[in-house]
Amino acid sequence: MLEAIETRNQKVYNDLYHETNRNLEEFIKDAGDNKIHFSANAPFQQATYTIEKAFSLLNEYKDLTKQLRKKETQMKFGYDLFNITYVSPPEMEQVELEIERLESVWKTKNEWNNQWEDTKLIKFKDFDNEVLDDLAEEYYQKLNSYPKEMKKWEIVNSVK
């Protein structure tokens, strides 16, 4: 009787171990697919997206990435239980970083557009060229402070 229970427990343990490994493989695949899909569809170009659409799309990817992080956290128990060494997929961090950077660029673009619209309403006699020069320089410095890989994005170059 004890042997039957031990055999059943070992089978359950093995089944759970294999299921945990399958879940891990599936999760890593999902994280990679998320990165591929993000890279192909994220708003890296101004011509393709309005500001509203860009923020909407970035929010969708942010939500999807949060769901993946939540799934990752939920699976941690299994890794600990079976002493599985787990390293978070680098694709997750890459997507999170690019979302953050794209939000920054689109926010800067939106601020510039709003500032430009306000500037167009200034009467010629009230116009202060120095203020506009300072404003343009501020935005230019902000854009130049972006990392090299971001400067390759069309949206960054279009804001310049």
Give the Cα separation of 41 and 56 in Å (integer): 12
Contact 33, 61 (CB under 8 A): no
- What mean pLDDT do residues 51-80 have? 95
pLDDT digits (tens, 9 = 90+) for 96-150: 999 999 999 999 999 989 988 888 888 877 777 888 888 888 888 888 899 999 9
Phi/psi-derived region of residue 116, left when phi > 0, alpha when psi is between -120 and 50, beta in every other case = alpha
- Tell me which residue of 100, 132, 92, 140 sits closest to 116, measured CA to CA: 132
149 residue type, one letter: E
- pLDDT confidence tier of residue 157, bands split at 50, 70 and 90: confident
Give the Cα separation of 137 and 135 in Å (integer): 5
